[in-house]
Structure 1
Amino acid sequence: MDSLTQAVLGAALQGTVLGRIQGRRSLLYGAALGTLPDLDVIIRYADPVSQMTYHRGFSHSLFVLTGLALLLAWCVNRYWPGKGYTLPRLFLAFWLVLVTHPVLDAFTVYGTQLFWPLSVTPQSWAAVFIIDPVYTVPLLAAVVYTLAKGVTGKAVRLMTLALVFSTAYLGFGLAGRMQAEQRFQAALDHQGIPASDVRAVPIAFNSLIWRVLAKTPDGAYYEGVSSWLDQHPPEMQRLPRNLELASALAVAPLHQRLRWFTGDWLRYDEVDGALVVTDLRMGIPGNYTFRFNMAHRDSQGHWVADTPTAWQGAGVASMFNSHDLALIWRRIVDQQPPLPLAAWTSRYLAPTAAQRGH
């Protein structure tokens, strides 16, 4: 999740547990501690694949953060005695503030290594978008009220209520994801289309509309859109993953790491002599957030693996096209006309040099 959300979540948690002792300072301490795991972004890596796949790693590990919470609680209890703290209460506050950061991150689609150093696939529960005002605003309002009025009984109740609401909203997101996946699976079954894996991810600032992906045994995938309010089957399109191109990267360690990190939700395209690898999990249909140049053809036409670079036009900003988002938000309440999935794919996924220049 975004830094503001992590800060207000940490502030609300520490204010609720330690506010009566620390006063308004508890909100500042909680906000700082709540954003601490994201300090791993200051570590710079040699390529964007490493930057992506090592983020939310050791600093988001439940094991590491539990140990850090215990160490912080011991230090405060040892060097600042007589403040009304108890070691268990300190540990509870610090542990909640620290571990809720990666757990909340795991509710997004990016991928969070909760169990580092174990090499399990990063957790990606895809219940909420990376920025969701419905989750953030109640927590922010409760924290701002507490800063203004002080840590009163009413303020603590408001922060508690905001925490309960935000937690329930995550459950709403999970329910929406499951509903979207079930609808998409039913539509595939109705058409006699076999699918080996189906997953839904939220789109742009809400948990009402979902982009749904399904892999097929023959190496293709289906992509479509489903809303909570749909009365008819979701629109969808069949697209190739071009898995034959992956053989060019068979011995490339960073390609293997990318497959592990994404759960192998990858697509491969040859664009102007470059091998472009796309993470299908994030973005809007046809316009994906993470794309990487990972190989090129030599003068004999053979693939040569490269140090990955970011594909031109990729990145988080790529999914914030105001015209496309307006169509998506309209789609929440109305299935007609359907979204221009094929046009978006043609425009964004493998554009010509002329289109990229335009």
Structure 2
Amino acid sequence: MDSVTQAALGAAVAGAVAGRRCSPKILLAGAALGTLPDLDVIISYGDPVSDMVKHRGFSHSLFVLIPFSLLLSWGWQKMRPTRFSLGHLWLLVAVCLVTHPLLDSFTAYGTQLFWPINTPIATPSLFIIDPLYTVPLLLAVLASVIWRDRMAKLCSAGLAVSSLYIVWSLVAMNTIESRVEQQLAGTPFAGQPTFITPTPLNTLLWRVVVKGEHSYLEGLSSILDADVEIDFLDKPLGTWPKGVVSEHQRMLEHFTGGFIRYDQRQSELVVSDLRLGMGEQLAFQFALAEKSNEWVAIEPVRVESPRARLAQIPNLWLRLLGSQDIDANLCHISECPQQAVPLVSRSGLLRPVFPC
């Protein structure tokens, strides 16, 4: 999640755990602890693929954070004694640190909670920025600064509301998952790996990716849809060249759970993470191979994806509200004739009137 959310969560957790000993300084310390695991972004692992895959690694591991919280609490108590017992201080520090990666595990990117075991954990029921999760925490922390005699209770209330929102997001995701299973039953895509995650800033409109053998389906489904059938768009997955060995390609395959796409763009082979983005606007794309006479692996190069346009927002908002009034094929406008007019299908993805 974003830094503001993690700071608000850390502050609220610190206030709740501190109880009657809570103070503005405790809230500030909790906010700092809540953002601490993300300092791994300053570490360079040598190439863009490694930087992506190894982010949220050791600094988000329960096997690291729990012992670190004990060491930090002991050092804190030795250097600057507090009103807390060592056990109470350790609990406060540990919970502030640990709730950070636990929250991150509810996003599409995933979190290596059990590093050095290299298995990203992800239950992607939240978008990386969601005001409906963050605002209750911020309000609780701000209110506790004003009404200091109720700090712990207000922080606990904010945590309760935000936690209920996570529960709602899981219920909504399960609802969409049931729709997908029912619609694909009896088709070649039945039982195939499926990735479901909310679209930006909400938990009503969900993006669905179903990975087949040679192609994948992509579409959007809103909790508010009257007709729950999803208009899927079928797109090729592409293939990695036989005989070409790339450790970075293997890393991406493992990290994404196989949800990647291969596109030949001129002489380069670009690998895209299908989990993060929409349509052709995929957040993580890397050139990993190059062809002259034959394909050879190259050092990873980050490829910029097309930027989302503000003009998309009203259409996506209408799709969120259940609008099913338009129909189209998926294609990014920037790749098409200038006279193309942006529309949205029930899949909710931008396309031009003219074919690409």
Provide the TM-score with structure 1 as the length reference. Answer: 0.88
Q: Which residue of 2 aligns with 1:292?
A: 286
Counterpart of 1:323, as a letter, is A
Q: Which residue of 2 aligns with 1:231?
A: 226
- Structure 1's consecutive aligned runs of 4 or more residues displaced over 6 angstroms after TM superposition are 352-355
Counterpart of 2:70, as a letter, is L
- Deviation for aligned residue 1:75: 2.3
Q: Which residue of 2 aligns with 1:164?
A: 160
Counterpart of 2:208, as a letter, is V
Matched, 1:278 2:272: yes
Structure 1, unpaired ranges of 5+: none
- Secondary structure of 2:217's counterpart equals strand
Change (3 A) 1:264 1:15: same
Matched, 1:326 2:314: yes
- Deviation for aligned residue 1:136: 0.3
Change (3 A) 1:339 1:148: farther
- Deviation for aligned residue 1:27: 0.9
- Secondary structure of 1:247's counterpart equals coil
- Deviation for aligned residue 1:332: 1.4
Instruction: Confirm or deny: 8 A CA contact 1:19 1:26 kept in the other structure.
Output: no
Counterpart of 1:189, as a letter, is A
Could you report, residue by residue, the CA deviation over 1:160-215 in whole angstroms, capped at 9, with x for unpaired residues?
A: 11101111111111111121122112111265643421221110101111000111
Q: Which residue of 2 aligns with 1:104?
A: 103
Instruction: Confirm or deny: 8 A CA contact 1:49 1:254 kept in the other structure.
Output: yes
- Deviation for aligned residue 1:264: 1.1
1:59-98 → structure 2 map (5 Å cutoff): 59-81=59-81, 83-98=82-97
- Secondary structure of 2:300's counterpart equals strand
- Deviation for aligned residue 1:352: 7.8
Q: Which residue of 2 aligns with 1:44?
A: 44
Q: Which residue of 1 aligns with 2:178?
A: 182
Matched, 1:137 2:170: no
Rounded Cα–Cα distance in structure 2 between residues aligned with 1:178 and 1:211: 13
Question: Which residue, 277, 287, 297 being the options, matches 1:305?
Answer: 297
User: Whose helix fraction is larger, Structure 1's or Structure 2's?
Assistant: 1
Counterpart of 2:297, as a letter, is A
Matched, 1:147 2:145: yes
- Secondary structure of 1:45's counterpart equals coil
Could you report, residue by residue, the CA deviation over 1:15-70 in whole angstroms, capped at 9, with x for unpaired residues?
A: 22226335110011001111000000011233211111111000000110001111
Instruction: Confirm or deny: 8 A CA contact 2:248 2:288 kept in the other structure.
Output: no
Q: Which residue of 1 aligns with 2:323?
A: 335
Rounded Cα–Cα distance in structure 2 between residues aligned with 1:165 and 1:51: 34
Q: Which residue of 2 aligns with 1:18?
A: 18
Question: Which residue, 177, 195, 198 being the options, matches 1:199?
Answer: 195
Instruction: Confirm or deny: 8 A CA contact 1:195 1:215 kept in the other structure.
Output: no
Structure 2, unpaired ranges of 5+: 341-356
Change (3 A) 1:353 1:257: farther
- Deviation for aligned residue 1:353: 12
Q: Which residue of 2 aligns with 1:251?
A: 245
Provide the TM-score with structure 2 as the length reference. Answer: 0.89
Instruction: Confirm or deny: 8 A CA contact 1:135 1:166 kept in the other structure.
Output: yes
Matched, 1:219 2:214: yes
- Deviation for aligned residue 1:313: 2.9
Rounded Cα–Cα distance in structure 2 between residues aligned with 1:255 and 1:283: 19
Change (3 A) 1:330 1:353: closer
Counterpart of 2:41, as a letter, is V
Question: Percent of counterpart pairs with the same letter?
Answer: 40
Counterpart of 2:13, as a letter, is L
Q: Which residue of 2 aligns with 1:8?
A: 8
Rounded Cα–Cα distance in structure 1 between residues aligned with 2:223 and 2:39: 36
Rounded Cα–Cα distance in structure 2 between residues aligned with 1:346 and 1:185: 28
Could you report, residue by residue, the CA deviation over 1:112-157 in whole angstroms, capped at 9, with x for unpaired residues?
A: 100000122x01110100000000011111111222343x12x322
Change (3 A) 1:28 1:19: farther
